[in-house]
Amino acid sequence: MDDRAVRTALQRHWEASDASDFEREHEIYATDAVLDYPQSGERIRGRRNIQESRTVQPNKKRFTIRRMIGGGDLWITEYVLTYDDKPSYVVSIMEFRDGLVAHETQYFAERFAPSPSRAHLVEHVGTM
């Protein structure tokens, strides 16, 4: 699978995620894919288990992609995941095998206030 095909598959995945289209969202995963959430210490094995873990979440979710970068078998997506109108900033690292995601790690962070100590060094770009 070339980089253009992977990027297209990722765009389809994130669009399906935003639309809560759980079947299409999970087509990108290998049957034996692994999903890690390091901050909670959770690991979910298998495409169907990953899909079920997302379908049972009661939250209203929206995905806003900031950027996707990568090549070959390693791709990173930065996005804002809004759960019930509360944004989380997420980095998804996907490792591909034979054109499908074999391993994904997702890191979540909440927004924080800018530090006054570096105010003279930064550009304010607004809410991301």
Lateral strand order in the sheet of 86-97:
42-45, 29-37, 100-109, 86-97, 74-83, 61-71
Per mean pLDDT, which range of 14-18, 22-26, 56-60 is the poorest?
56-60
* Domain 3-110, CATH among 3.10.450.50, 2.40.50.100, 3.50.50.60, 2.60.40.10: 3.10.450.50
Task: Locate the DSSP E strands across the chain.
Answer: 29-37, 42-45, 61-71, 74-83, 86-97, 100-109
- The mean of the pLDDT values for the chain is 93
pTM (predicted TM-score): 0.90
pLDDT at 127 over 60: no
